[in-house]
A and B are shown apart, each in its own frame.
Chain A
């Protein structure tokens, strides 16, 4: 990542749109499903046909409240408004959203590094349809026509608006990663950025540290963590260059062009921002009572921060930076329960964590089927030296693909676990054959440790686990025999 020039600071606020994991849309019974044939999940309500009336989805309200509780927001009486605009992604020519009375007000999100980002609001609204520009250059301005699919129109969204508390592209990514983990943990969303379940807009400005806030630009179309980081870096550099050249940043909405790696202004007429919000007359106010709020709060399991602490506790010692990252990624991919269960079955925590963060996480579709007891048995075999690391990883791949008994799979793959007695016999023989090497090692010369291990491996046809051999040698030396 490129840094900013000295004497400048970037200030970022993020708006994250999160599609809620409901069965149906926000105001009608059409399925909330990704990837269906175009215009097959639509009805008179979400098409805005005359005479149709919206009715609010109770589940969507509950999921919105879960988000509010997880972010420490105040759940408040709220009202829906119509946001009016002419654009074919909404057949009604307005979007139902919450304006000055959102359901969740205030809140905070703490990043894993301890930084606290304020949350201004998290409100309910309906998603828009999907437009695809075809013909011409394919870009919005150059297209010759647009195709519209209204399956997404009316899908429930919560828009989470942060305070401008973010100070770098890396922090913006950490914020979205943590928010995503919270949304998945609360069951509010599947968190799939690649399917558009999470979409991010960034408000970016630059200033001299401690100085007044600069003019901000809103960057749209940030559909991946990579885009988010790159767009903020590009935009900060662009604004700094503008200021450094004596110019001024113009407040505008810009579009991130992933292919060209730059933000470009979106052409819009000056009155386009005049949405003429007014209360939606077809919907009555929403006022969840204390009892409902308490039920929702009680339905939320442990949040990611708490789950990370649990894993760190299992590790015991202070985590290495690599382990801290493994803890973050395991919780974010919802695999921490596997690590905990494997440890309860006797697996060593650091090994369970490492294998889960890497090999298991790489097979997300099989991970859910992995039996924690079998996983633990395998890790114990590896830790005791009966299986070498490479062998253990091959058994794990089998275990993920087909399940079964790890010892049985190891035998089938020809990894005859060496029993400890047999290994000890081979090592003693190697020592007897290399008396000078052993004498040097016993005298404290650690550089012959490797060659000794190599000799044992050779004598066993590479079946012996180097770590187990090393441990044997160290213990024998410590005993002074």
Chain B
């Protein structure tokens, strides 16, 4: 960085316990206070390591959506046999009327 450059530090701020709690909630993980502290430290270290990438000069490079040099991998619209239903429903926690039966849902979209 040259003197007088006002660009922000490219490194993201280190992660805090509040963010870790939020991410854990999104992933439906219940963390004890001790785990929260431990994972906050570990995640901060991982993010700090990944942040080294931000130091690379990528001026003029196209953003990359996939590491493989492939485009348009497609299949034809031809049906293939599905799984047998009894085999499928063996995976279900409970079964009712040929359906997966799950606990009631409080919110979300139907």
Residues of A within 8 A of B (CB): 22-24, 28-31, 37-44, 47, 49, 55-61, 79, 84-89, 101, 131-136, 140-141, 143-150, 220-221, 266-269, 271-272, 274, 276, 279, 281, 283-288
Residue pair A221, B110 in contact (C-beta under 8 Å): yes
Cβ-defined partner of A146 (8 Å) among B26, B66, B102? B102
Answer yes or no: B79 CB below 8 A from chain A CBs. yes
CA–CA, A229 to B36, complex, Å? 49
Some 24 contacts from A to B, beta carbons below 8 A apart, are: A24-B77, A28-B80, A29-B75, A29-B78, A39-B88, A39-B89, A39-B99, A40-B98, A42-B88, A56-B74, A58-B76, A58-B77, A87-B105, A87-B108, A136-B104, A140-B107, A140-B108, A143-B104, A145-B102, A147-B99, A148-B102, A267-B106, A274-B22, A279-B66
Are A41 and B82 neighbours in the complex by a CB distance under 8 Å?
yes
Could you tell me if A133 and B105 are in contact, using CB atoms closer than 8 angstroms? yes
> Which chain B residue lies CB-closest to A88?
B102
Q: Are B103 and A148 in contact (CB under 8 A)?
A: no
Rank and list the top 6 A-B pairs by shortest CB-CB distance, nearest first: A29-B80, A59-B77, A147-B99, A58-B74, A38-B98, A148-B100
Q: CB distance B82 to A284 under 8 Å?
A: no
Assess A285 versus B88: contact at CB under 8 Å? Given A146-B101, A271-B22, A271-B26: no
Shortest Cβ gap from A403 to chain B (Å): 34
CB-CB < 8 A to B65: which residues of A? 79, 101, 279, 284-285
CA distance A168 to B19 in the complex (A): 42
A283 to B76, CA, bound (A): 16
**Residue B2 interfacial (CB < 8 Å):** no
Contact between B91 and A47 (Cβ–Cβ < 8 Å)?
yes
Tell me the nearest residue of chain B to A49, going by C-beta. Answer: B91
**CB pair B104 A56 closer than 8 Å:** no
Are A56 and B73 neighbours in the complex by a CB distance under 8 Å? yes
Query: A37-B85, A43-B83, A148-B100 are contacts. A23–B109 as well, Cβ < 8 Å?
Result: no
With beta carbons under 8 angstroms apart, the residue of A144, A266, A267, A269 that contacts B104 is A144
- What residues on B are CB-neighbors of A276 within 8 Å? 26
> Known contacts being A39-B100, A148-B102, A269-B107, is A31 close to B74, with CB within 8 Å?
no
Which residues of the partner chain A approach B99 to less than 8 Å between Cβ atoms?
38-39, 132, 147-149
* B positions within 8 Å CB-CB of A: 22, 25-26, 28, 65-66, 68, 70-83, 85, 88-89, 91, 96-110
* A266 surroundings in chain B (CB, below 8 A): 107-109
Do A23 and B104 have beta carbons less than 8 Å apart?
A: no
Q: Would you call A143 and B79 a contact (CB within 8 A)?
A: no
Query: Do A284 and B66 touch across chains, with their CB atoms under 8 A apart?
Result: yes
Q: Could you list 5 further interchain pairs (A-B, Cβ under 8 angstroms) beyond the known A150-B100, A281-B66, A287-B72? A: A84-B26, A145-B102, A145-B104, A148-B99, A287-B71
Instruction: Report which residue of A38, A84, A221 has the largest number of chain B beta carbons within 10 angstroms of its beta carbon.
Output: A38
Could you tell me if B28 and A86 are in contact, using CB atoms closer than 8 angstroms? yes
B105 touches A143 (CB 8 A): yes
B88 touches A88 (CB 8 A): no
- Complex: chain B residue closest to A45, CB-CB: B80
Give the distance in Å from the alpha carbon of A408 to the alpha carbon of B90 in the complex.
Answer: 62
Contact yes or no, A274 B26, CB < 8 A = yes
Q: Give the residues in chain A near B105, CB-CB below 8 Å.
A: 87-88, 131, 133, 140, 143, 146
Residues of chain B within 8 A of A57, CB atoms compared = 74-75, 77
- A residues in contact with B108, CB < 8 Å: 85, 87, 140, 266, 268, 272
Measured CA separation A442–B105 after assembly (Å):
80
Measured between beta carbons, the chain B residues less than 8 angstroms from A44 are: 83
Cα separation A266 to B77 with both chains bound (whole Å): 37
| Min distance, Cβ B97 to any Cβ of chain A, angstroms | 6
Question: Bound complex: CA of A42 vs CA of B22, how far in Å?
Answer: 34
Bound CA span A272–B96, Å: 28
| A141 interface neighbour in B28, B80, B88, B106, Cβ under 8 Å | B106
Interchain CA distance A287-B80 in the complex, whole Å: 26
Report yes or no: A30 in contact with B74, Cβ–Cβ below 8 A. Answer: no
Picked from A22, A43, A86, A267, the residue with its CB within 8 Å of the CB of B80 is: A43
**Residues of chain A lying within 8 A (CB to CB) of residue B76:** 58-59
Report B-chain residues with C-beta under 8 Å of the C-beta of A56: 73-75
- Report Cα–Cα, A271/B24, bound state, in Å: 11
Which residues of chain B have C-beta atoms less than 8 A from A28's C-beta? 80
Q: How close is A220's CB to chain B, nearest CB, in angstroms? A: 6
